[in-house]
Chains A and B, each alone.
Chain A
Amino acid sequence: MKATPRDPQILTVPGGERAATTVIEIAGLVKKFGDFVAVDHISFAVEEGIVFAFLGPNGAGKTTTIKMLTTVLSPSGGSMRLAGIDPLSEPLLARRAFGIVFQDPTLDDELTAFENMELHGILYGVPRRERRERIAALLSLVALSERAHDLVKKFSGGMRRRLEIARALVHRPKILFLDEPTSGLDPQTRNQIWQYIRELCRERKVTVFFTTHYMEEAERVADRIAIIDHGRIVAQGSPQELTRRTEQKTLEDAFIALTGRDIREEEAAPIDRMRMMRRVWRGRR
């Protein structure tokens, strides 16, 4: 069950001479909303082909970081590289390198599962024949082949999630970002979804970068973890290293030892602040 943890010091792939390549690199990344610093000079690297968990309490800066990595929010400072591409100077090229499943669903309810995937494939410039083949293969992998021509509005939460994950892979991205892919789903569906993600990634050698509030989930599936709190990276390592370092039994205890017991502001806070700022700014003009 447990994925093989990788020691950060060992930079060679087991059984190979080739040094593991980093596929995500962040250096000194900052995002400010007015006076509020949502992301405060964070730096880390993610190796190719691993499952990387990005954890933190509500409002710690997880989603803001993902938004910057995925080119929908511009950083206040710092640099990033995705599969060797700078998303700031070449956003369109960078977007081909990753797939993303956002926290909230982003499917078009009025279209069918197939049409949603088709639209994605066309937007990403996948040629027709490959597009059709990949869509069929991915739909069958997430067990939605029989529902391909049903409208998405008839789908359950779990089915939508599976469809979104499959859709994010139509253009064969090197990196798959998943922002709380399993939140609000029952344990059966969560397990099933992780099974699909791991299957997909093993088959396609995709690097997975995900956030979650379920610590046992992170402990079970992640090769490496970074914990962010108040916009700063407070710890990095394999799940085992983090529990060992904090002298705790589980990742959840390690997480609480690292981030404290205070209940945080809602995740929406920085976004609300941003919206408020924007309203004020627009009102002034």
Chain B
Amino acid sequence: MKAVAILWLRQLKRYSRSRVRMVGSLGQPLLFLLALGFGLGPIFSRAGAGDYIEFLSPGIITMGILFTAVFSGIEIIWDRQFGFLKETLVAPVSRLTIVLGRALGGATVALIQGLIVFAICLLAGFRVADPRLLPLALLFMFLIALLFTAIGTALGSVLEDMQGFPLIMNFFVLPLFFFSNALFPIKGLPKALLFAVSLNPLSYGVDGLRVALTGSPLSGFLPDLAVLGVLTAALLALSSYLFSRIEL
């Protein structure tokens, strides 16, 4: 238990010490929020779909979490290249402990990053519908963070170096974001796109968070929670398995 805690703390310390990384990973969500939010806002409301910032903000918060979480997981590759991974692999703790400590640490960092994006959204004019639902929003944010840290950890355990990184960014992380309901409502989408969006785990996170933050039909969040919960558990198990197969 203490081992999990110290590995968690390590991730937080690394995060708090690298301000550049913190600010750097805010750039993209900020860009999307400002350019799309204010740029497409007028059309969105003219189409009778309401306030776009209101719709977009949960998606942008999710984006901030997604990027940070996948990065945190993939950091294993850095640790492998810069050696620290070996220190943990020869320690008398199980691989599961290491994965849990890392994943919880990475997820916490991603959650903090999501909260910062949340604050920026508030500055841009986003309003929370019902403050009593904030704990639910936090739960969704943390689940999204944990799920994608686990996915990053799984990828980081399989990849040997950073060469595959652009591949993951362009063919995995960005498509996850674009083919989700983060930027547009799913109503009236072409069938193929709708299919992709509903297969995408991120969509369930965005939907749950949107329900919690904007108070739109509350009925929707239970299936979201179930899908995210099951997937997170499965991915944590998969990443522990892949991590346990690492040999030096």
B13 shortest CB reach to chain A, Å: 7
Is A282 among interface residues, defined by CB-CB distance under 8 A?
yes
Which of A105, A111, A115, A123 contacts B91, CB < 8 Å?
A: A123
In the assembled complex, which residues on chain A have CB atoms less than 8 Å from the CB atom of B248? 67, 72-73
Closest to B94 in A: A92
Main SS class of interface, B: helix
Is B93 among interface residues, defined by CB-CB distance under 8 A?
yes
In the assembled complex, which residues on chain A have CB atoms less than 8 Å from the CB atom of B85? 106
> Is the pair A111, B13 in contact by a Cβ cutoff of 8 Å?
yes
User: Given A73-B247, A122-B2, is A100 in contact with B91 using a C-beta cutoff of 8 Å?
Assistant: no
Is A245 among interface residues, defined by CB-CB distance under 8 A?
no
Encode A25-52 as 1/0 by CB contact (under 8 A) with B.
0000000000000000000000000000
> Is the pair A110, B87 in contact by a Cβ cutoff of 8 Å?
no
Q: Measured between alpha carbons, how far is A120 from B10 in the docked complex, in Å?
A: 12
Is B158 among interface residues, defined by CB-CB distance under 8 A?
yes
In the assembled complex, which residues on chain B have CB atoms less than 8 Å from the CB atom of A275? 160
Is A104 among interface residues, defined by CB-CB distance under 8 A?
yes
Q: Which residues, 1 to 51 on B, are CB-close (under 8 Å) to A?
A: 2-3, 6-7, 10, 13-14, 17-18
In the assembled complex, which residues on chain A have CB atoms less than 8 Å from the CB atom of B86? 72, 102, 106
User: Given A74-B247, A110-B18, A115-B13, is A123 in contact with B82 using a C-beta cutoff of 8 Å?
Assistant: no
In the assembled complex, which residues on chain B have CB atoms less than 8 Å from the CB atom of A279? 160
Q: Which residues, 194 to 248 on B, are CB-close (under 8 Å) to A?
A: 247-248
> Is the pair A96, B92 in contact by a Cβ cutoff of 8 Å?
yes
Is A265 among interface residues, defined by CB-CB distance under 8 A?
no
Q: Which residues, 135 to 174 on B, are CB-close (under 8 Å) to A?
A: 158, 160
Is B90 among interface residues, defined by CB-CB distance under 8 A?
yes
Encode A81-109 as 1/0 by CB contact (under 8 A) with B.
00000000000110110001010111111
Q: Which residues, 81 to 116 on B, are CB-close (under 8 Å) to A?
A: 82-94
B245 shortest CB reach to chain A, Å: 9
> Is the pair B247, A123 in contact by a Cβ cutoff of 8 Å?
no
> Is the pair B92, A123 in contact by a Cβ cutoff of 8 Å?
yes
> Is the pair A105, B83 in contact by a Cβ cutoff of 8 Å?
yes
Encode A101-141 as 1/0 by CB contact (under 8 A) with B.
01011111111000100111011110000000000000000
Closest to A103 in B: B83
What number of A residues sit within 8 Å (CB to CB) of B?
33
Q: Measured between alpha carbons, how far is A71 from B90 in the docked complex, in Å?
A: 7
A34 shortest CB reach to chain B, Å: 14
Q: Measured between alpha carbons, how far is A109 from B83 in the docked complex, in Å?
A: 10
In the assembled complex, which residues on chain A have CB atoms less than 8 Å from the CB atom of B7? 119
> Is the pair A110, B14 in contact by a Cβ cutoff of 8 Å?
yes
> Is the pair B10, A95 in contact by a Cβ cutoff of 8 Å?
no
Q: Which residues, 266 to 285 on A, are CB-close (under 8 Å) to B?
A: 274-275, 279, 282
Closest to B15 in A: A110
In the assembled complex, which residues on chain B have CB atoms less than 8 Å from the CB atom of A243? none
> Is the pair B2, A72 in contact by a Cβ cutoff of 8 Å?
no
Encode A136-158 as 1/0 by CB contact (under 8 A) with B.
00000000000000010000000
Is A70 among interface residues, defined by CB-CB distance under 8 A?
yes
In the assembled complex, which residues on chain A have CB atoms less than 8 Å from the CB atom of B6? 118-119, 122-123
> Is the pair A106, B91 in contact by a Cβ cutoff of 8 Å?
no
Closest to A96 in B: B92
In the assembled complex, which residues on chain B have CB atoms less than 8 Å from the CB atom of A125? 2-3, 92
Q: Measured between alpha carbons, how far is A115 from B82 in the docked complex, in Å?
A: 17
In the assembled complex, which residues on chain B have CB atoms less than 8 Å from the CB atom of A123? 3, 6, 88, 91-93
A29 shortest CB reach to chain B, Å: 16
B28 shortest CB reach to chain A, Å: 23
In the assembled complex, which residues on chain A have CB atoms less than 8 Å from the CB atom of B17? 110, 151
A interface residue numbers (CB < 8 A to B): 67, 70-74, 92-93, 95-96, 100, 102, 104-111, 115, 118-120, 122-125, 151, 274-275, 279, 282
A-B contact pairs, 18 of them (CB 8 A): A67-B248, A71-B90, A72-B247, A73-B247, A92-B93, A100-B90, A106-B83, A106-B87, A108-B14, A110-B13, A110-B14, A110-B17, A119-B7, A120-B87, A123-B3, A124-B92, A275-B160, A279-B160
- 8 tightest A-B CB contacts, nearest first: A106-B83, A123-B91, A95-B92, A122-B6, A106-B87, A72-B248, A92-B92, A106-B86
